[in-house]
Amino acid sequence: MKKSLHFALLFFALLQTATLAAQERYTVKPGDPNGIRKWYMGRQIAHVMGHYGIDWLERQEREMEENTSQLLKNLAVQPGIVIADIGAGSGYHSTLLSKMVGNGRVYAVDVEPEMIAYLNARIKLEGNKNIIPVLSTEKKVSLPANSIDMMLLVDVYHEFSFPYEMALSMLEALKPGGKLVLVEFRAEDTNVPIKTIHKMGEQQAVKEFKAAGFSFEKNISNLPWQHCLIFRKPKK
């Protein structure tokens, strides 16, 4: 009986410690009205655009404004690999990636059921057999451990309600040595015509991903408005 009580008390103490750590990780306070009242490592988290922004994601000007063609070159995709498009939204990038991986796979991951429904309809219409929609949660990407060669996050990470937990989940899902490509509008550039809350600076992004265990490799600075930051999961 005493032994059982000891383990129960120990479990409760560990649970309390984990809860306190999570509470200390995030700060709740006012800020930009376009963001939520939640801050992480000094950065206010933005509101999720959601499925109401599909027209924005599919806008004709996107190639010109973001040079998606150059971004795809930056990825250096090899046929046969497994890619996860995190925050895939309407499938704008997933569709392009599906043509590049050949007999590989693209997991189109999104937290909104409405986006997953849109993705399923798009896949059926366009006949993309190597795109697999995945409904994630706010804390987990819902992908198997050590299963992904590359992850792509385009203008989405800054909206994660639980960025630390999601980063840990992404790290777990990547294969050892796997690559994560973070694309975010440059906070350092006032000429980028995007609301400040929807931008991220390189220093801030590196700080947050290193905190979750990623290694920073480089910033490919050849996009008109965005950073293209390359991170790796350590091989050991």
Report the run of H or E that residue 226 belongs to, with start and end: strand 226-232
Q: Which two tokens stand for residue 157?
A: 């990470």
Task: Kindly list the domain boundaries of the chain, sorted by start residue.
Answer: 50-232
H-assigned helices in the chain: 2-25, 54-57, 62-66, 68-75, 92-101, 113-126, 163-173, 202-211
Query: Which residue bears the tokens 């694309």?
Result: 183
Instruction: Report the candidate in 117, 114, 94 with the shortest Cα–Cα distance to residue 106.
Output: 94
Distance (Å, rounded) from C-alpha 21 to C-alpha 153? 26
Q: Which two tokens stand for residue 38?
A: 């939640």
The pLDDT value given to residue 4: 54
Distance (Å, rounded) from C-alpha 170 to C-alpha 176? 12
**How far does CA 65 lie from the centroid of its chain?**
21
Q: Per-residue confidence of the chain (236 residues) as pLDDT tens digits?
A: 555 555 444 444 333 434 435 558 999 999 999 999 999 999 999 999 878 778 878 888 999 999 999 999 999 999 999 999 999 999 999 999 999 999 999 999 999 999 999 999 999 999 999 999 999 999 999 999 999 999 999 999 999 999 999 999 999 999 999 999 999 999 999 999 999 999 999 999 999 999 999 999 999 999 999 999 999 999 97
What are the strands, taking DSSP E only, across 57-212?
A: 82-86, 105-110, 131-135, 148-154, 174-186, 199-200
Phi and psi at residue 163, to the nearest 5°: -65, -35
The pLDDT value given to residue 3: 53
CATH architecture observed for domain 50-232 = 3-Layer(aba) Sandwich (3.40)
User: Is 170 in contact with 138 (CB distance < 8 Å)?
Assistant: no
What's the Rg (C-alpha) of the chain?
Answer: 19
199-200 and 131-135: which strand pairing? Answer: unpaired
User: Which residues is 148 bridged to in the sheet?
Assistant: 174
Please state the pTM of the whole predicted model: 0.89
For residue 113, the tally of other CB atoms under 10 A from its CB is 10
Which amino acid is present at 187? A
Instruction: Report the candidate in 9, 174, 48, 36 with the shortest Cα–Cα distance to residue 107.
Output: 174
